[in-house]
Structure 1
Amino acid sequence: MNDASSLLKEFETEYVPQINATLQHLNEGWIDQSILQSAMTYSVDAGGKRLRPLLTLAVLKTYGVQLTEGQLMAASALELLHTYSLIHDDLPAMDNDDLRRGVATNHVKFGAGMATLAGDGLLTLAFEWLSNADIPATQQLSLVRALSHAAGPAGMVAGQAQDISSEHHQLNIDELAKLHRQKTGALLHYAVEAGCIMADVNEEERQDLLKFADQFGLAYQIYDDLLDVTSTAQQLGKKTHKDAGEEKNTYPGLFGVEGTKQRLKRVVESAESQLKDLNQITGRDYRLLNAFCSYFKIKE
């Protein structure tokens, strides 16, 4: 394990339990229907990397912010919204998946109707958490505005719609990059933006950090596409080799496995370079954020 991987592992070991403890607040009166509560908590408790709230917390730590319960709640709200997107993505009318994070998908466990409502509940509850988090009201408003844009019809939902409408139709590289920027990149962009908002990062540095976030988000989707054709369901906790069968637009479909690996390598290097340039300008230590790039393990 290299230094970056060790740094990321240490950060995860410290903060994933705190995120999970915050998510357990779902059992404290936020949901007023027992089956719905079971369905919502089922998918939240199924695990996951907690990558998005971790990115938010990493920005706060990078800028020397002492973490508060309110900031943890605001950061964890993104995990609620991300989980909603997975539940809906797995539905029979969408990808019709029966395995997610190594367990049965929500609609397999609770039925499509209840799964739809569980996703609806997590989506709306995310914004309730942001508006109830013990942080300044100006930050609450900025977070709500940014998350609604990232998750809505100009962001993630637009990407999902494009993904569906482009099945059986080959997109070019620019079109594919836009699809991924919305479908996957928008929430990762927001994760870094949320940290910038709560850390009160100045506008110039914020824009540079968001450029890193966008490169990281693109790398994340390319890597996910790659894993779909190079990994097993047991390794990923979800079905693999589905994209090609459904004629979805992916990087391996456009460039092949080796071409995709090379493209991923260049995008990761671009993300790292963005932080290196920012370090030279500000003198700030961005090693923690850079460590997130160690997530992408490219086998030659």
Structure 2
Amino acid sequence: MSNGETQVHQFDLAKLTSPAGAVEDWARTFLQQRAMPTNLKSAIEYAFFGPGKRLRPVLVVRCCEAVGGDERAALPAAAAIELIHCFSLVHDDLPAMDDDDLRRGRPTLHKHTNEAMAILAGDAMTSLAFEAIASGIDDAALSRAVARELSTATTDMISGQIYDTLPAFDADTPPARRLELIHRHKTGALLRCACRMGGRCGGASAEQLNNLTHYAESVGLMFQIIDDLLDVTQSTEQLGKTANKDADQGKLTYPGVMGIDASRAEVARLRDAAHAALADLGASAEPLRELCDYMAVREK
């Protein structure tokens, strides 16, 4: 589909995201077996198991399946990337960062507990992500490759947060280029990582991994443009987090730089590019195509 033909009512979101349940089960067992202070474990569980799209772990599993792999092979990597994503949300919400009180329709972790616990729980989720990979993936070469993907993406994500909140761009860097650097790092890095880790867990060939990477780069940027659009078109109640936050903080956004209509046109272009990247993967990549179409029209 192209040119805005995607229909919201066509999506069976529960089916598309069904791997999320298996990822949560794997993560729950992993966390239950890991000795740590009770209050720290409770804080991590609050951040990890709260409501959420689980997009990154689902992409890990769906990309594994798209290249012929089994869901079970992808679960440790899927849990690991969700731990990193949740750490980033907990730290982003802190008073020193975005200073948010609401996340996924609930109090942010530092409001639910306190700032010290939120900082330490985020720290712990970072290290636990790599424990999950090391303990869950028996093949040493694959474990190293997956850990390398995730560590690189985590650093890139943090770089994106710097670009967004503590920028040090050259004076002649145009706003559109600054915006792309922010989004390709802050949001795109983990989405790209999810797809590449999934491909590796499924035994992808170099060509298949390249296809998944191109898909991820398109949907990663598209996802953030949609986030920017939702921030200016939806209410706090609809989003489950504070609306208009970026504009209020003077941050660069696609609607702010390009306008709403041009931003929507860019979403359509990126959606088509993502579909094109999957052309050689055939029917096994259909869930990835549907996830792309859903992400292009999501409303929160």
What is the TM-score with the length of structure 2 in the denominator? 0.90
SS in 1 for 2:11: helix
More deviation, 25-34/231-240: 25-34
SS at match of 1:273: helix
1:31 Cα deviation after fit: 4.2
Cα pair distance change 1:94/1:275, threshold 3 Å: same
Aligned partners of 2:26 and 2:79 also within 8 Å: yes
In the alignment, is residue 291 of structure 1 matched against residue 296 of structure 2? no
With over 3 angstroms needed to count, the CA separation of the structure-2 counterparts of 1:111 and 1:3, relative to structure 1, is closer
CA displacement 1:202-253 (0-9 Å, x = unmatched) = 1122112101100110000000001100111111110001111100011011
Picking from 2, 11, 18, the partner of 1:6 is 11
**Cα RMSD (Å) of the superposition?**
2.3
The alpha-carbon deviation at position 8 of structure 1 amounts to 5.0
CA deviation digits over 1:247-278, x for unaligned, max 9? 001101101222211121211122122223x3
> Does residue 224 of the first structure (1) align with residue 236 of the second (2)?
no
| Matching of residues 144-293 of structure 1 within 5 Å | 144-152=147-155, 155-166=156-167, 172-276=175-279, 278-279=280-281, 283=282, 285-293=284-292
Query: What does residue range 78-89 of structure 1 map to in structure 2 within 5 Å?
Result: 78-89=81-92
**Aligned partners of 2:54, 2:222: CA distance in 1, in Å?**
17
Q: Is structure 2 residue 106 aligned with structure 1 residue 103? A: yes
Of 199-208 and 122-131, deviating more is 199-208
Q: Any conservation in 1 of the 2:30–2:132 contact (CA below 8 Å)? A: no
TM-score, normalised via structure 1 length: 0.90
Are the equivalent residues in 2 in contact too, given 1:143–1:194 (CA < 8 A)? Answer: yes
Partner residue in 2 for 1:51: 55
Q: CA deviation at 1:118?
A: 0.5
1:28 aligns to what SS in structure 2? Answer: helix
The 2-side partners of 1:21 and 1:232 are apart by 32
Question: Counterpart of 1:66?
Answer: 70
**2:117 is the alignment partner of 1:114:** yes
Structure 1 unaligned residues grouped into runs of 5+: none
* Equivalences, count: 291
**Distance in 2 between residues matched to 1:234 and 1:135, nearest whole Å:** 44
- In structure 2, the partner of 1:92 is 95
